[in-house]
A = this chain, B = another copy of it.
Amino acid sequence: MLFGRHALSRVGESSAVTSDMIWAPLFQRLKTTTGADDRDLEALAALPFTLRTFRENQAVLRDGEQPSECCLIADGFCFRSKTIVDGRRQILSIHIPGDLPNLQNLHFPTVDHDLIALSDCTLAFIAHKALNDLISQRSGVGDMFWRDTLVDAAVSREWIVNVGQRSTHNRLAHLIVELRERLRLIGRVIDNTFEIPLTQEQFGEAMGVTSVHTNRILRELRIDGVLELQRGTVRILNEHKLQELAQFDGRYLQMSPSS
């Protein structure tokens, strides 16, 4: 079920893209997270969708747009961001395969932030109408989606804590551990290495600091033997030290159905 990071996004790729490949990460996450009903998932997988590919840095959705579809990340990474008047930009969340980053548009027509491709990526677009029809037939699907937006909200709250209270070292460690746990859920963590294709500037925008300062932090973490970051690939050098810095309590991710 694992496929390469850009497997789906090569321009001109002619291999058949099956529905399975599109939905697998989401289903894997939903099963682990909230205990999904198989028939709800089957109904989802039967929905028609349109595939579109985006290049690194290309906008998927712009602040103010009124999309008529929801998108599912099939491959690659995206991020939400808001830019304030003086040009500073805050990254609000990172999205990975299996995420539905604009489910909220099922209820509110206008997006209030940008959604931008972090790497070349492939998204499946599903019409609001099709989703709403399915939800009205199978209330379990609506509940599942509601839960998904609630986890999204919980991630945002933890993001506030990160930016507001943690030291920048702890902040970077926490961000990385959160991403790793989410990537692990969809099978993207091998050994101590995984991909987070953010530039140092983007890490800074996620943490609310400048790229220069991000660079300072990374150097210190490297010198202290905690982790290395090279062109978007994270390598954990000392798991214990990382945990100590991250102070990570993953309950907010709702990764076990019992919680």
Contacts and interface: CB of A to CB of B under 8 A. Distances in A.
A134 B254 CA distance: 26
A109 B254 CA distance: 10
A19 to B, nearest CB: 26
A194 interface: no
A70 interface: no
Nearest to A103: B150
Nearest to A166: B84
Interface stretch (A53-61, A136-144, A180-188): A136-144
A207 interface: yes
Contact of A150 (B89, B92, B108, B139): B108
Contacts of A109: 259
A110 B251 contact: yes
B160 A90 contact: yes
A102 to B, nearest CB: 11
A222 interface: no
A149 interface: yes
B157 A92 contact: yes
B157 A157 contact: no
A153 interface: yes
A235 interface: no
Interface in A223-254: 247, 251-252, 254
A32 interface: no
Interface string A84-105: 1100111011000000000010
Interface in A147-173: 147, 149-150, 152-154, 156-161, 163-166
Contacts of A149: 146, 149-150, 153
A31 interface: no
A213 to B, nearest CB: 13
Given A88-B165, A149-B146, A165-B89, A82 B157 contact: yes
A80 interface: yes
Instruction: Sort A-B residue pairs by CB-CB distance and give the 10 closest, nearest first.
Output: A164-B208, A153-B153, A156-B156, A90-B164, A88-B165, A112-B252, A90-B161, A163-B164, A90-B165, A104-B150
